[in-house]
């Protein structure tokens, strides 16, 4: 394996369910990849935490009966025997409890590991769904905020609408601007021919004092209107609005010919 191991491979390996050539390939990769070895430690930690979070399962009644019988057998006084007999009994006695553990608990832990892995996958899917819902809610809230601002702008008695007239010899188009200096909001709505190659249209607010202020750089799509809202400095008093043809990406101040012009 040349690429790094996936999270699924590491989790399955940590659960001990990898076998055969697949397990051999993973172990060979781990031996030569410190990053995946560190990721495996994290996977083992996740599996351990998930296993500890599950409620304990009580063993069947016959298991308790067998365990108590084993304890009584272990604690009962034994007659004196020769050393070889004692050693044989110790071997039998010592091997009984480990067999019980391997017979009962090992399958239980295996099932527990599978359950924890399934729960972890379900948790991952839930996290992804929650993230998608959060993004959708954020997008809807942004649309609602924009709609609210637009309604406030249109409904305000302080809003001024300025039609922009086409200038001779320039690309075909028509547009208007709605502006409210108290709210500090501007809305552009218009349609223009496509800009020549290497050029962009740029909307300017020309104040009664000071230099023109850029209110948007755009590249129209033929047959489709352009529409946007923009925050402007509150209290800014415009005397005119203009669209100029500038180098692609726009300019800090107007340099190109005026395409559309409107006086406030």
- Condensed to tens digits (0 to 9), the pLDDT of residues 124-135 reads 787 888 888 888
The DSSP line for 44-63 is HHHHHHHHHHSPPPPPPHHH
Q: What is the pTM of this model?
A: 0.50
- For CA atoms 57, 61, 66, 70, give the dihedral sign: positive
Cβ neighbours, 10 Å, residue 2: 5
Does residue 140 lie in a domain region? no
Confidence of residue 94 (pLDDT cuts 50, 70, 90): very low
Q: What is the pLDDT of residue 168?
A: 94
Please determine, for residue 35, whether its predicted confidence score (pLDDT) is greater than 90. Answer: no
Angle between helix axes 20-32 and 7-15 (nearest 10 degrees) is 110
Q: Do 116 and 41 belong to one domain? A: yes
Whether 41 is in a domain gets the answer yes
CATH number (domain holding residue 236): 2.60.40
170 and 111, same structural domain?
no
In this structure, are 119 and 188 located in the same domain? Answer: no
The region of weakest confidence among 8-12, 68-72, 207-211 is 68-72
In a 10 Å sphere around its CB, with 0-12 CB exposed, 13-18 middle and 19+ buried, how is residue 213 labelled? Answer: middle
- Please state the rounded mean pLDDT for residues 162-177: 94
Residue 62 has pLDDT above 70, yes or no: no
- pLDDT above 80: residue 194: yes
Top-ranked range on mean pLDDT: pick from 76-85, 128-137, 241-250: 241-250
pLDDT in the model for residue 53? 55
Together in a domain, 119 and 168: no
Which residues, in sequence order, are CB contacts of 216 under 8 Å at separation 6+?
A: 188, 202, 203, 228, 230
The predicted pLDDT at position 79 comes to 57
- What whole-number percentage of the chain has pLDDT above 70? 74
Position 137 scores a pLDDT of: 84
Confidence at residue 195, expressed as pLDDT on a 0 to 100 scale: 94
Give the model's pLDDT for residue 162.
96
> Any idea how long the chain is?
264
Give the strands of the sheet with 173-180, arranged side by side: 213-218, 199-207, 238-247, 258-263, 160-166, 173-180, 185-192, 226-231
- For residue 257, what is the DSSP state? -
Q: What is the token pair recorded at 8?
A: 């699924």
- Which of these three, 127, 149, 180, is where a domain ends? 127
> Mean pLDDT, to the nearest integer, of 216-226?
92
Residues 110 and 22 in one domain: yes
Does 156 or 130 have the greater pLDDT score? 156
For residues 104 and 19, membership in a common domain is answered with yes
pLDDT score at 167: 95
DSSP result, 108-158: HHHHHHHHHHHHHHHHHHHHHHHHHHHHHHHHHHHHHHHHHHHHHHHH-TT
Residue 32 domain flag: yes
Contact present, 262 and 241 (Cβ < 8 Å): yes
Q: Which two tokens stand for residue 159?
A: 């809003």
Locate tokens 């104040």: which residue? Answer: 207
Q: Single out the residue of 218, 215, 217 nearest to residue 229, CA to CA.
A: 215
Residue 60 tokens, joined: 């069947």
Q: Does residue 143 have a pLDDT over 70?
A: yes
Same-domain status, 25 and 119:
yes
Percent of the chain with pLDDT over 90: 36
Q: What are phi and psi of 155, to 5 degrees?
A: -80, -10
Mean residue pLDDT across the chain: 80
Q: Does 76 reside within a domain?
A: yes
**95 belongs to a structural domain:** yes
Q: Is residue 142 part of a domain?
A: no
Regarding whether 122 and 165 lie in a shared domain, the answer is no
Does a structural domain hold residue 114? yes
Q: Does residue 68 fall inside a structural domain?
A: yes
Whether 109 has a pLDDT exceeding 70, the answer reads no
Residues 166 and 241 in one domain: yes
CB atoms within 10 A of CB 221: 11
Whether 121 and 23 share a structural domain: yes
Better pLDDT: 149 or 112: 149
Domain that holds residue 240: 160-263
Q: Does residue 95 have a pLDDT over 60?
A: no
Are residues 123 and 12 located together in one domain of the fold?
yes
pLDDT range class, residue 11, cuts 50, 70, 90: confident
Question: Could you tell me if 116 and 184 lie in one domain?
Answer: no
How many domains would you assign to the chain?
2
Decide if 239 contacts 204 (C-beta within 8 A). no
Which one is predicted more confidently, 136 or 260?
260
């Amino acid at each position: 394996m040349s690429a790094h191991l996936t999270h699924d491979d590491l989790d399955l390996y940590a659960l001990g369910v990898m076998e055969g050539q697949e397990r051999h390939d993973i172990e060979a990769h781990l031996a030569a990849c410190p990053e995946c070895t560190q990721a495996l430690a994290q996977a083992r930690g996740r599996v351990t935490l998930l296993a500890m979070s599950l409620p304990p399962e009580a063993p069947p009644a016959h298991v308790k009966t067998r365990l108590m019988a084993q304890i009584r057998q272990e604690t009962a006084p034994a007659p004196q025997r020769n050393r070889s007999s004692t050693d044989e009994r110790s071997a039998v006695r010592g091997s009984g409890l480990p067999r019980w553990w391997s017979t009962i608990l090992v399958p239980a832990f295996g099932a527990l590991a599978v359950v924890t892995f399934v729960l972890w996958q379900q948790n991952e899917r839930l996290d992804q769904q929650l993230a998608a819902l959060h993004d959708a809610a954020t997008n809807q809230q942004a649309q609602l905020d924009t709609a609210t601002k637009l309604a406030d702008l249109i409904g305000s008695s302080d809003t001024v609408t300025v039609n922009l007239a086409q200038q001779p010899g320039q690309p075909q188009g028509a547009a208007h601007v709605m502006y409210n200096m108290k709210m500090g909001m501007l809305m552009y709505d218009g349609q223009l021919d496509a800009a020549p190659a290497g050029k962009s249209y740029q909307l300017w607010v020309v104040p009664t004092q000071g230099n023109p202020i850029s209110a948007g750089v755009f590249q129209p799509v033929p047959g489709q209107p352009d529409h946007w809202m923009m925050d402007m400095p509150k209290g800014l008093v415009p005397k005119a609005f203009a669209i100029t043809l500038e180098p692609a990406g726009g300019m800090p101040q107007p340099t190109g010919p005026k395409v559309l012009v409107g006086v406030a």
